[in-house]
Amino acid sequence: MSQQPKYKRVIVKLSGEALAGDLGSGIDQGVLNSLASQIAEVISIGVEVAVVVGGGNIWRGVAGSSKGMDRTTADYMGMLATVINSLALQDALEDKNIDTRVQTAIEMRQIAEPYIRRRAVRHLEKGRVVIFAAGTGNPYFSTDTTAALRAAEIEAEVILMAKKVDGVYDADPVVNPKAQRYTDLSYIDVLNKRLGVMDSTATSLCMDNNIPLIVFTLNEPSNIKKVVLGETIGTYVGRKKDD
């Protein structure tokens, strides 16, 4: 296969659960190192990479609020969890000599830059990985929405949703072994069928800005590289010709 990438600038959306690997919570160093290696592969062929990391392996705001915690407080705690994951990923990338910048939506200048769109774009143009942390900086918004928002702002061509499963299914494949995987979907399909690819706010933002999504598993080596080279894996979500 040609090493000419299909996409020049991408956002990789990582769930916190994916970083936990088989541990169930916390950060699996093996997963982290594998992810850093995959991103390094993509950087080596000239693709500009930004990353948005969830925090569910450490704390989920919705879960906290369901147990009686103030929703805003719980969500801010979730934002801080994404910063922990982002710093861990930055360390793993820099261990592989990949220049990396963490930008946070909530200022914490001792450990990261504040999010500034033009600065983020300049980092990408210089071949640095930019990790967007602390969500949007606002409660009630998920890191899926962060990925959609940042993709629109930096004009990313696609959002690569790296998960523990290998695509989008019509049912939970862990519970139902007969669940069928979709190869492609429209944004409207995702919304109408409530498929849980990402929340409705994020899906609508992607639809309004025509930002496609590719949902795939992190568990296969070089999957990120395969996606950016145009290989068909996982599930493609985007605008269909008749939409």
Binding site members = 13-16, 55-56, 60, 75, 136-143, 169, 172
Feature table: binding site for ATP: 13-16, 56, 60, 169, 172
The Cα angle at residue 194 between residues 169 and 142, in degrees rounded to 5: 100
**Is 85 in contact with 17 (CB distance < 8 Å)?**
no
C-alpha torsion angle, residues 234, 18, 57, 211 (rounded to 10)? -40
Feature table: binding site for UMP: 55, 75, 136-143
